[in-house]
Chain A
Amino acid sequence: MRTPLFRGRRRALATVATAGALALALTACGSSGPSDTSADGGDRGSSTGDIWVITDASLNPVQEKSAETFATSGDVTFTVSNYANDPYKQKLQTAIGSPNQPDIFYNWGGGNLKQYVDAGQVADLTSAVDGDADFKSKLIPSVLDVGTIDGKIYGLPMQGVQPVMMYGNDDVLKKAGVDGMPATWDDLLADVKALKASGVTPIALAGSQSWTELMWLEYLLDRVGGSDKFAAIAAGDDGAWSDPAVIESLTMIQQLVDAGAFGTNYSAVGYDDQGTQALIAGGKAGLELMGSWEVSALNASFPDFAKSDSLVWGTFPTVDGGKGDPSAVVGNPSNFYSVTDGSKVKDGATQYLLDTLTSDEYVDGLLSIGQVPAITGLEEKVKTGDFAHFNAFTYQIVNDSSSFTQSWDQALDAATAQTMLTNLQKVFLGQMEPQEFADAMAK
């Protein structure tokens, strides 16, 4: 509908484009499922809807099952369509606001969700959630905050929490004379020294993917300056990037890099190709900072190590004199479901979310695939599976957290995130000074 540029030309374009039966045949067999289903959706009346999610072999069945369950009780039948991670964002970007948009869509909350909210495309769920006190009381507040924009609830947590924390290979630590995970920044610096002396890379870092480097800045700023500092950045406040706490955090990062904490070749190490996992599991590195998905990821590639006592974990060290609350965590609070404002089945979609997300079936489904849901009162339930201790620890630090800061690259708009990641990489490479970083970001 919104195609001013090509209006007149479209027919001519289409004529040429479809010249030949072959071309026509291709259009038919090549067009993708989702747009077809939503087009059909109109014909079928308001009793069907689409849910778009990310491809996840273990999670998708849980999502599909919940849609089936809802279809038996509710008055809307939802179809779950899944897409791979990177393409999904693009897909959503073009579909939202178009006639092809889904009714419920998976998102990352924060800035990612905000752009759709700002465009007026997302339904406000506040009154529905407030109207269901039982539902609301089951959501962990620090997580729900991320789906809340300008005081209104637009996204509801729909999957496990993924706080970032420290991991270690205890064998490597012991060999270097390090006892347990570092509790303070000074401990960490001492551990780095000891680990380096023992001939391993102290901290595995996948520097070719700078979001792994970002985790260090996220935690340091929180510990040094408190969670308000990033909140100011996310809100776009003037001078937020130039805050002394930002500079100090970056200086601490430089300190780590200069101490050889990450070795020398970290910029060539990738996370997606499990470069850091191999370092940790293979005993070539002592520590790593990563999201809580790391344990199941390690288990997939290096099950012997993941299940052994050698794998240890802990919270991010505290910083002496820092203003931050030591209980604060950063990472991916959850992913969120939002309802599109233009959805024909808006009420049904909202009802589906209220009925499903805290239901025993859905929560148990998440637990059964090793996720730790953002739901209160699960202290005992999360102790299941191979990693009961780890799950309990994850659940506990999130439940106890005073704030859960979302990964910055997801909380900020795409362009800022992109610039920030590039500049941060330069700080790690020693190509950029903390002040230069702040200046570049303040633009």
Chain B
Amino acid sequence: MSTTTSSDARARAGRAGTGGGTGTGGAAGTGDGRPRQRLRRERREAPAPVGWIGAMVWFVIVAVPLYFLITTSLRTSSEYLLSGPMSVPKDLSFASYRLVLESGFGLLLLNTAIVTVATVAIVLALSLPAAYAIVRSRSRFVRRTFSVVLLGLAIPAQATIIPIYLMITQLHMYDTLLAIVLPTAAFAIPLSILVLTASLRDVPGELYEAMNVDGASPARTFWTLALPLSRGGITTVGIYTAMGAWNGFIFPLVLTQSESVRVLTLGLWTFQSQYGVNVPAITAAVTLSLLPLLALYLIGRRQLLSGLTAGFGK
């Protein structure tokens, strides 16, 4: 991957006005007089006021709700009603977090974690061999598989919820965590195969050939070559699937109901009516639900980014 340069656009500062609104750097005029910009392979740091302005607008749109989320969760509920949503909290209070943690948040977390881990395990166990076959097999059936799977990207899960509800009740799995796991995993498979296929394609063909010459079986090639070399793709799929399972709403909503198998997303919804005007408690619950994923993201950031990019072509 080459690092693209943009810009010694200074030289054309006069025409830069035409660049309004575009991300690549727009009106570069203000950047005049920065000699280092002449560097050939300069990284893209060109000041781009229009870009910055646009980005700052979006920043405000994203940050204000997040500010509200964090500050509100640290208020007492009476202070929230009195001093309004946007003021700086007077005294930080962790009472809301305590309240949330004491009202069964641990169980929600545990259930969600079980669902997430199981979903990721199933998805990887099924998608990896499939992706491997798609990349290496010459079978026509496998090619078809790939088309079907690509099409699957577009199947709206919502539209199948009623038959899935029927199937799950007929299988006597209604109101179990497994009922959430199975369809969640099924709908994660298309994207997983897509990403893993891309990542396996990056393994040089010569390596496969070398294994082949050594007389390695497909399984051995899979274990010793394909698997280790597609770690990036696996991480991507893992994180992405985990996020989907962690945040899943429709399947838990329709396929479970007992408190004992309630997951986080439904729990949040319940909290909303349980705590009502106690917005601090609700925001505390939302914040808590966010933390595990934030940690996961911070760990796997790079793979997630590059893996997704590869999976979707350029």
**Partner-B contacts on A (CB < 8 A):** 3, 5-6, 10, 13-14, 17, 20, 22-23, 26-27, 29-35, 55, 83-84, 87-88, 90-91, 94, 272-275, 277-278, 282, 301
Contact = CB atoms under 8 A, between A and B. Distances in A.
Given A13-B167, A278-B81, A26 B177 contact: yes
B278 A94 contact: no
Nearest to A55: B259
Interface of B: 77, 81, 114, 118, 121-122, 125, 166-167, 169-179, 181-182, 256-261, 270, 272-273, 276-279
Contact of A84 (B181, B257, B276): B257
B124 to A, nearest CB: 12
A156 B121 CA distance: 49
Given A5-B166, A26-B181, A31-B176, A14 B171 contact: yes
Nearest to B185: A23
B258 A87 contact: yes
A84 B104 CA distance: 13
B179 to A, nearest CB: 8
Contact of A275 (B174, B270, B277): B277
A26 B118 contact: yes
Contacts of B257: 83-84, 87-88, 90-91
A30 B170 contact: no
Contact of A33 (B179, B258, B270): B258
Given A10-B171, A20-B125, A91-B175, A26 B258 contact: no
B114 A273 contact: no
A328 B234 CA distance: 67
A302 to B, nearest CB: 9
B122 A20 contact: yes
A295 to B, nearest CB: 15
Contact of A17 (B114, B118, B171, B258): B171
Nearest to B170: A6
A32 B167 contact: no
Given A34-B258, A83-B258, A84-B259, A22 B277 contact: no
Contacts of A274: 276-277
Contacts of A10: 170-171
Given A6-B167, A22-B121, A27 B176 contact: yes
A27 B173 contact: yes
A56 to B, nearest CB: 12
Contact of A272 (B169, B174, B273): B273
Which 6 pairs from chain A and chain B are nearest by CB? Answer: A87-B257, A30-B177, A274-B277, A274-B276, A30-B176, A272-B273
Contacts of A34: 258
A32 B122 contact: no
Contacts of B176: 26-27, 30-32
Contact of B260 (A27, A33, A277, A301): A33
